[in-house]
Amino acid sequence: MQKEYLELTRHIERMHRRFLDVLRAELVRLDIKDVNAVQALLLANIGGDEIIIRDLVERGYYQGSNVSYNIKKMAEAGLIEHERSEHDRRSVRIKLTQKAIDLCARVKDLEARLAAEMEERGVTAEDIENSIKVLKRVERTWADYIRYGEF
């Protein structure tokens, strides 16, 4: 089991990098130069919500310094609007501009095309659901380790 576990952890990292490569290739294909793959993924995770930057970090998607840097760059590119909360001046709320919403639509289109391609290659919805179940158990194990320490 240890050998398979190690292979799984390495595969998770490779999959994340490969997905960023896919996003990067799509951005090049669309001739979009003012956003990188990480930022496109960040925009997709924000979606149509108005969100507090801290929530992105707490959800476990990003490291704090990476979020701050990318938020600054995306604001400069006209992809997000941000403002400090009136109640807590340390808190910054962000929302997507129309330009970012349009980009997210293109990312969703890419995801639909990739899903269709996976189906063509014989990957079923059940296969994906089972993979998600396993990955959620791995994530839960890691979260418990972080929260409660050594098993």
Phi and psi at residue 150, to the nearest 5°: -60, 145
Average of per-residue pLDDT values in the chain = 89
Q: What is the sign, positive or negative, of the torsion defined by CA atoms of 118, 122, 125, 128?
A: negative
Alpha carbon distance 77, 103 (integer Å): 12
Contacts of 38 (CB under 8 A, 6+ apart): 20, 66, 70
DSSP for 57-85? HHTTSS-HHHHHHHHHHHHHTTSEEEEE-
pLDDT at 91 exceeding the cut of 80: no
pLDDT at position 84:
77
More confidently predicted of 63 and 18: 18
pLDDT at position 62:
67
Fold of 2-120: Arc Repressor Mutant, subunit A (1.10.10)
More confidently predicted of 58 and 71: 71
Contacts of 45 (CB under 8 A, 6+ apart): 56, 59, 61
Structure tokens at 142: 């890691």
Domain boundaries, the chain: 2-120, 123-151
pLDDT at position 60:
61
pLDDT at 124 exceeding the cut of 70: yes
Q: Tokens 């063509």 — which residue?
A: 120
High-pLDDT (> 90) share of the chain, %: 64
Sheet containing strand 51-52, edge to edge, reads 51-52, 92-96, 80-84
Q: Tokens 């391609």 — which residue?
A: 117
What is the pLDDT confidence band of residue 47, given thresholds at 50, 70 and 90? confident
Of 116, 80, 106, nearest in space to 26 by CA? 106
The pLDDT tens digits of the residues spanning 3-14 come to: 999 999 999 999
